[in-house]
Amino acid sequence: MSAWLSSAQGQNGAGRDQPPSRPPGFAEAPLRLDEATLPRAEDLGYELRPPRPDAPPAPATPFQGTGPQGHRGRMREKLLERGPDALADYELLEMLLFFAFKQGDTKPLAKALINRFGSFAAVLAAPQQVLMETRGLGPHSVAALKLVQAAALRLAKAEVMEAPVLNNWDRLITYLNAAISREKIEQFRILFLDSKNRLIADEAQAKGTVNHTPVYPREVMKRALELHATALILVHNHPSGDPTPSRADIEMTAEIRQAGQFFAVVVHDHLIVGNGRYLSFRREGLL
């Protein structure tokens, strides 16, 4: 070993203060510490004691509550202490996205979604494929949005079913607005009622294009008889938002009403739902 050191010193022309060059074939290995092999304080003879009562407190981490976790905690407190009415629409959406994004700030995404679709309700009602193609969203966030939409619709439907539909008109309109007013294509639905005008079923009979839905009176009556329904409320949406009935809407309603007379099935009304607006055939004298 000493001979090698002397040789190295001679080659480098340096004294002992100069580090020796590495022999050929040797590579510098990184220093690695294995926690399992490190000695514990107790093994070295040190005694671990709790801090003295008079010891000064440890310095606090600066700006503890400014990160996403602190913000999320404050949002939850705001919701629980002040109620959902204290939250803006983008804040509701922001909190909803917490379930999909375990970390990070979801406020910019929530605001971007409302700006794109127009409102909190429109974000929830947007087609699944459109949401999947939206920047910032993915399977987890889209599933969260659609789950909330489904829960809201079931709650609204349950409230409609608790009492006779004709005596619960405001809740019925609220439910229909949530269910189909923001659909991008026409959808024809039928509310099947029993002899006490309670809701038996709400079914989509047909889907069409942006301005037309084919409906067949024979199929409507067939389904009414299968459900033992004695009355109907016809419903369809106008994607344009204008609930004014077309000539085809009026003629189709008359055909279904005429078919119902043969089977003792009453058509109570035909509702056309737009974006936050609706028209009743009965109130307009069209039925």
Query: Tens digit of pLDDT for each residue in 132-141?
Result: 999 999 999 9
Q: Does residue 238 or residue 57 have the better pLDDT?
A: 238
Per-residue pLDDT of 206-227, as tens digits, reads: 665 445 567 888 999 999 999 9
- Please determine, for residue 53, whether its predicted confidence score (pLDDT) is greater than 80: no
Amino acid 17: pLDDT: 53
Amino acid 84: pLDDT: 84
Per-residue pLDDT of 89-144, as tens digits, reads: 999 999 999 988 888 889 999 999 999 999 998 899 888 999 999 999 999 999 99
Mean pLDDT along residues 70-79: 86
Amino acid 7: pLDDT: 45
Per-residue pLDDT of 146-186, as tens digits, reads: 999 999 888 888 877 777 887 888 888 888 888 888 888 88
d(CA 85, CA 105): 22
Band (pLDDT 50/70/90 cuts) for residue 5 is very low
Mean pLDDT along residues 43-66: 49
- Please determine, for residue 23, whether its predicted confidence score (pLDDT) is greater than 60: no
Mean pLDDT along residues 226-236: 95
d(CA 191, CA 239): 20
Query: DSSP secondary structure string, 191-215?
Result: EEE-TT--EEEEEEEEE--SS----
The residue assigned the tokens 């069409």 is 208
Amino acid 54: pLDDT: 62
Mean pLDDT along residues 258-262: 93
Q: For the chain, give the mean pLDDT.
A: 79
- Please determine, for residue 29, whether its predicted confidence score (pLDDT) is greater than 80: no
